[in-house]
Amino acid sequence: MSARVFNFSAGPATLNQSVLEASAAALINYRDQGVGIAEVSHRGPEFSEVLAEAEARCRSLLGIGDDYAVLFLQGGATQQFELIPMNLLRDRAEYVVSGEWAKKAAKAAARYGTVDVIGDSSASNFNQLPAFSADRQADYLHICSNNTIYGTSYPSFPDHPCLIADMSSEIMSREIDVSRFAMIYAGAQKNLGPAGVVLVIIRRDLLATIPEDVAPIFSYAAHAKAQSCLNTPPTFGIYMLLETFRWIEAQGGLAAVEAVNRRKAQYIYDAIDHSQGFYTGTVVVPEQRSLMNITFTLPDEALTKAFISQAADRGMVALKGYRTVGGIRASTYNAMPEEGCLRLAQFMAEFAETAQ
Ligand SMILES: Cc1ncc(COP(=O)(O)O)c(C=O)c1O
């Protein structure tokens, strides 16, 4: 097998090698039982243990209290864009449009009730988070905490009695105070595991408010009651999340992971800032720079193409920026080794020097 490359993909994204190896072994033969973990009943003892341990480790890593339900569901983050208003929008909800995904979430919610977009930075191509002032009486305030495409993230979170955050591209990358949120959700395929699982953390008092006419498969209350087993959950994906949680714990938990992520991002931001203008960071407010998605441009398209191709020759792949931003996007999720970011930063310096 050829050596693994440094994969800077925005998602599905790189996974830690020990997580992959443990998951591969469990897929073939789980605990030497002659059967793989994807081949057993979701209601049997093997998977029930996996689910319970995944939930317990998730709670412990994020410091989630008993007043929250933790769910592992299907449908991705996009399905949550619909489920949130179906379950929680009665009168009026507020949305902050800080990027493509936040915009999609707001558009989805508008199908179900009144949605006020209280901040929108689309006019500056989302190069910063919009300013906003929220009405605490609204049913909820929805934000996207890390904007995967544009490379912005919230250095601190708004204070709101019903704050809902899409954390798909930064979940478990830094310490957060879950008690500040009414609900957090995240598609797994960036920081947690393979596509096909979405993690939902929801305050239990909200479950009681969900209308009974919401079909059970779309109801957070029904999923919480059934403890993620209303129907067949994505069993193998959940197993991979469990391995990821074990790995994060072995790293020392979120504080330790955050420290590494800060160093990783700093190598690349320093390479941008020390390039005498050869690289331009696309985020204009430094404290809003994401630790997970680092976006920058080069002087022209030909140089951008050469950068991507020469980086690939050096074992660094999936660096092309999203089409609405162009340039480069380096996604540096938890599983990206520090060495990958160091190498990229070194290559950036070399490339800038030879090109100038
Ligand atoms: C912040 C954010 N929200 C939502 C999504 C959509 O996720 P899914 O494809 O799981 O529906 C993505 C996908 O990249 C994302 O980055």
Instruction: Please indicate, yes or no, whether residues 128 and 190 belong to a single structural domain of this protein.
Output: yes
| In the chain, % of residues over pLDDT 70 | 100
Mean pLDDT of the chain: 97
Does the structure show a pLDDT above 90 at 3?
no
Tell me: pLDDT of 100 over 70.
yes
User: Of residues 104, 135, 166, 213, which has the active-site annotation?
Assistant: 166
Average pLDDT of 290-303? Answer: 98
Amino acid type, 303 = L
Q: Structural domain tally of the chain?
A: 2
Q: Band the pLDDT of 1: cuts 50, 70, 90.
A: low
Same domain flag for 177 and 274: no
Which residue, among 63, 18, 10, has the nearest Cα to 176 in the 3D structure?
63
d(CA 78, CA 189): 13
198-203 and 183-187 beta bridge pairing: antiparallel
Question: Could you report how far apart the first and last alpha carbons of the chain are, in Å?
Answer: 37
101 catalytic residue (yes or no): yes
Q: How confident is the model at residue 138 (pLDDT cuts 50, 70, 90)?
A: very high
Tell me: do 144 and 272 sit in the same domain: no
Residue 52 lies inside a defined structural domain of this protein? yes
Q: Indicate if the pLDDT at residue 2 is higher than 90.
A: no
Atom in ligand 1 nearest the alpha carbon of residue 167: 1
> Does 356 have pLDDT greater than 90?
no
**Mean local confidence (pLDDT), 293-303:** 98
In a domain, 68, yes or no: yes
What band does 328 get if pLDDT is binned at 50, 70 and 90? Answer: very high
Integer angstrom CA distances of residue 171 from 119, 198, 258, 324: 23, 11, 11, 24
Residues 24 and 45 in one domain: yes
- State pLDDT tens for residues 152-167: 999 999 999 999 999 9
Q: Are residues 29 and 168 in the same domain?
A: yes
Q: Cβ(11) to ligand 1 under 6 A?
A: yes
78 Cβ closer than 6 Å to some ligand 1 atom: yes
99 in contact with ligand 1, CB cutoff 6 A: no
* Same domain membership, residue 350 and residue 202: no
Q: Does residue 170 have its Cβ closer than 6 Å to ligand 1?
A: no
Separation of CA 102 from chain center: 13
pLDDT tens digits, residue range 146-199?
Answer: 999 999 999 999 999 999 999 999 999 999 999 999 999 999 999 999 999 999
Is 148 a pocket residue for ligand 1 (Cβ < 6 Å)?
Answer: yes
Nearest CA to ligand 1 atom 5: 77
Residue span of the structural domain in which 301 resides: 253-355
Q: Which of 101, 107, 154, 173 to mutate to test the pocket of ligand 1 (most atoms within 8 A of CB)?
A: 101
Residue 68 pairs in a beta bridge with 203
Q: Is residue 6 part of a domain?
A: no
For 211-254, how does the pLDDT look when each residue is reduced to its tens digit (9 = 90+)? 999 999 999 999 999 999 999 999 999 999 999 999 999 999 99
